[in-house]
Amino acid sequence: MRVLILLFSLLIAGSSFSKEAVDEKSKAEMLLVLEANEALHASFFKYNPKEVEANAVKTSEAISKLSNKEIKKLLENSSKMLKSIKGDADREANNVSYHQASMALIYVINKYDLGEKYSGYRCPMVKKKWVQNTEKMSRVHNPYAPGMPHCGGKLK
């Protein structure tokens, strides 16, 4: 009887941490957003201001093409923050906008089953988060702190 109760408890606990399923079209569209963000992350990591702005625009455009209304709504503010990223802006201002955009992306990654390719990361020193391709980069690539490019860790 104890074993049965334990198994039932584990089943319930495990189901509370599972991600919501999403249809294949929505998943494919969201993966396009994350791929665009991957290019943005790379341009922030090496900080090329013109590339940062261009990739922020591409990521925002990918969000605008989402057909899933719920996911699109969750990323509405993210898209606004991406549009505020400019090549001639102060880097810290762009960092703040990217962090805000990344928070919404991380929420979507954690809420929906999009696979294991992308994960959220956090740097405790700069107190900012980002999304990173875990298949391509096993090491942390902090886009905010050029003096500490590998500071931070994967979010649980």
pLDDT of residue 35: 98
For 36, phi and psi rounded to 5 degrees? Answer: -65, -40
Question: Could you tell me the strand order of the sheet in which 128-133 lies?
Answer: 128-133, 118-123, 153-154
pLDDT of residue 34: 98
User: In the chain, pLDDT over 90 holds for what percent of residues?
Assistant: 87
Residue where the block lists tokens 């020193």 = 125
pLDDT over 70 at 17, yes or no = no
Sequential DSSP letters for the chain: -HHHHHHHHHHHHHHHTPPBP--HHHHHHHHHHHHHHHHHHHHHHHT-HHHHHHHHHHHHHHHHT---HHHHHHTHHHHHHHHT--TTS-HHHHHHHHHHHHHHHHHHHHHB---SSEEEEEETTTTEEEEEETTT-SS---SS-TTSTT--EE--
pLDDT over 70 at 4, yes or no = no
Cα-Cα end-to-end distance for the chain: 33
pLDDT of residue 156: 83
